[in-house]
Chain A
Amino acid sequence: MNIVVAMKQIPDLQQIRIRNRKPILDDVALTFGNIDKNALEAGVQLKEATGSNLIVVSVGTEALEDTIKEALAAGADEAYLVLDDEIGDMESSSSARLIAEAIKKIDDVGIILFGEGSGDNYSGQVGSRVAAILGLPQAGYAKSININGNIATVTRSLEDCEEVLEAELPIVVSVIADINEPRIPSVTQILKAGRKPKEMLELDVTGDSMLETISNLAPEMQRKQIEIETIEKLLKVLENEGLLRR
């Protein structure tokens, strides 16, 4: 059986600086979203439990060829990549179509794992869209996944309850950060990662544009940033501002 994990390359959010309210993305390192790393770890654990093969599918710029090593070092066996520098910030509908096309090229897919949201856009759409394109059952916001034979059992966490869902494979599952603690690859794993197979898919990346971004700016923030030495002084200041109604 093949287990597929979809991972999105994103700029390292901690490195983004804001200038004139605009995000500066030049020279910001690329990585995978944190929750996508949880999805990968869930894939690695299922692979170990079921003796499967683990394939990462990712759509992004040419830099992915390098970024993908992170995932191959952390336990993926192969990667299917759709690379294109022109597409820039791709819309969820296009990424979903390309991910689904890539998955169609893989035989015997048992489970397709997503993060609950990508690190940059966090829209939680792509997994659902892929499930729709492939006509598969889906279970979102998983906090645990078990596979027994050809049945997947997923416990998922909603705001006010947990649901235990069951479906025959293949199934699409998105995970939340709570599901696991992603392992840190060892040096040998990192060294080996470069030699693992990578499939570069030639797919038509032009898609209909459904969204328009009118502006994208950091919120204006003016904070006083006054340093106070003691609790006593702090309480006095807050009291003077009428913030403590005691």
Chain B
Amino acid sequence: MAAILIYSDKTKLAFELLNAAQLIGKNTDLTIKAVSINNDEQAEELAAKGAETYKIINPELNLADTGAMASALLQTAEKLDADIVLLSSNRRGKELAGRLAQVFKAGCLTDVKSMQTENGRIECVRNVLGGATVAIQEIISDKKVIAISPKAFPAAADEVGGTINEYVVNIIPSGIKLIETRAKAGDSVDIEAAEILVVVGQGVESQESLPAIMEIAKNLGGEVACSKPVATDKKWFGEERILGLSGKICKPDLAIILGVSGQVQFTVGIRDAKTIVSINNDEKAYMNQMADYVLIADIKEVLPELQKAIG
């Protein structure tokens, strides 16, 4: 019986893949098989979700060696008769997706944010043209590799009947050595969970404004998010607060956007918000066309007022 194989280095994301696989597998005779690599605990947790789990433990298989990882997954897919492999579209997963697709002779879609399945056809939804448009695409080759965005699917529920099978693959190293791993500093804020977001763009000219903005967000019961350059160029915040194509896609009830021009790679991260407020000193800023309420003002001038009212 043909199978769907799922793998992510992150257990949380593997749970989401399991759920996505269950959606694809529904009303078909596809079985679902989960792979865990060098992670005993993950294998246990996947089995607790009811998954038929294949555990590969081999210290020679390095997660950072994408070539070796692709070869390990290829061997597993072939042996378990899987035509569909689901990976997570985090950075490791995306990098692996292309390499696996190539050796698996598969068509591949990454950053898939939702799926519809019908009669065994899997329609994948993803942003293209930098987020200006949303495409529905289908992989028509026999073999398929699909990398699914984090949080696109909820985690699978616990289920009985899971198993753990120890599994051995040939390791074919590609010559990458991992010299060092450094944890990233940064807070563990979850902007995707926030109902209200106050968003800092480059129009917030001074770092001295940040405490006031943090306070406003806190008093509203929300979180602070930012545009990409605020995190990557100015380094005012960690990357986990970035909204957009290469950051997070959020759907808060209210987004108050301070000094963002509204380029498509940003707006794709916030366009599903229920209500959008844009405060910008340029009335022509594209962000204003994407907003429900627009205040044309200098942030330096209105921030104290906002802080007074909400602070």
- Is B294 positioned at the interface, with any CB of A under 8 Å from its CB? yes
- Is A168 positioned at the interface, with any CB of B under 8 Å from its CB? yes
Task: Report yes or no: A123 in contact with B111, Cβ–Cβ below 8 A.
Answer: yes
- Is B189 positioned at the interface, with any CB of A under 8 Å from its CB? no
Contacts of B41 in A (CB 8 A): none
- Is B27 positioned at the interface, with any CB of A under 8 Å from its CB? no
Query: Contact residue range for chain B?
Result: 35 or more
Q: B193 → chain A, closest Cβ, in Å?
A: 16
Which chain A residues have a beta carbon within 8 Å of chain B's beta carbons?
Answer: 11, 13-14, 16, 18, 23, 91-93, 96, 116-117, 119-129, 131-133, 135-141, 153, 157-168, 171, 174, 177-178, 208-219, 221, 223-232, 234-235, 237-238, 241, 243-246
Contacts of A135 in B (CB 8 A): 67, 174
Task: Report yes or no: A13 in contact with B129, Cβ–Cβ below 8 A.
Answer: yes
Task: Report yes or no: B181 in contact with A162, Cβ–Cβ below 8 A.
Answer: yes
Q: List 10 A-B contacts (CB under 8 A).
A: A117-B246, A124-B110, A135-B174, A158-B91, A165-B64, A217-B134, A227-B293, A228-B293, A230-B295, A232-B305
- Is B58 positioned at the interface, with any CB of A under 8 Å from its CB? no
- Is B288 positioned at the interface, with any CB of A under 8 Å from its CB? yes
Task: Report yes or no: A128 in contact with B306, Cβ–Cβ below 8 A.
Answer: no
Which chain B residues have a beta carbon within 8 Å of chain A's beta carbons?
Answer: 64-67, 70, 90-92, 94-99, 101-103, 106-111, 123, 127-130, 132-141, 174-184, 196, 219-221, 228, 232, 239-240, 245-246, 253-254, 263-265, 271, 275-277, 288-297, 302, 305-306, 309-310
Out of B106, B183, B245, name the residue touching A210 (CB < 8 Å).
B106
Q: B10 → chain A, closest Cβ, in Å?
A: 9
User: Chain B: interface secondary structure?
Assistant: mixed
Q: A239 → chain B, closest Cβ, in Å?
A: 10
Q: B134 → chain A, closest Cβ, in Å?
A: 5
Q: With A128-B102, A215-B136, A221-B290 known to touch, is A153 a contact of B179 (CB < 8 Å)?
A: yes
> Which B residue's beta carbon lies closest to that of A22?
B133
A243 and B252 alpha carbons, distance in the complex (Å):
11
Contacts of B302 in A (CB 8 A): 231
Q: A31 → chain B, closest Cβ, in Å?
A: 12
Out of B95, B176, B183, name the residue touching A124 (CB < 8 Å).
B95
A227 and B179 alpha carbons, distance in the complex (Å):
55
> Which B residue's beta carbon lies closest to that of A125?
B98
Task: Report yes or no: B232 in contact with A137, Cβ–Cβ below 8 A.
Answer: no
Out of A116, A138, A168, A228, name the residue touching B99 (CB < 8 Å).
A138
A163 and B91 alpha carbons, distance in the complex (Å):
12
Q: With A126-B98, A133-B102 known to touch, is A165 a contact of B176 (CB < 8 Å)?
A: yes
> Which B residue's beta carbon lies closest to that of A158?
B91
Contacts of A161 in B (CB 8 A): 181-184
Out of B110, B136, B179, B271, name the residue touching A125 (CB < 8 Å).
B110
Contacts of A245 in B (CB 8 A): 221
Contacts of A213 in B (CB 8 A): 135-137
A178 and B295 alpha carbons, distance in the complex (Å):
32
A131 and B99 alpha carbons, distance in the complex (Å):
7
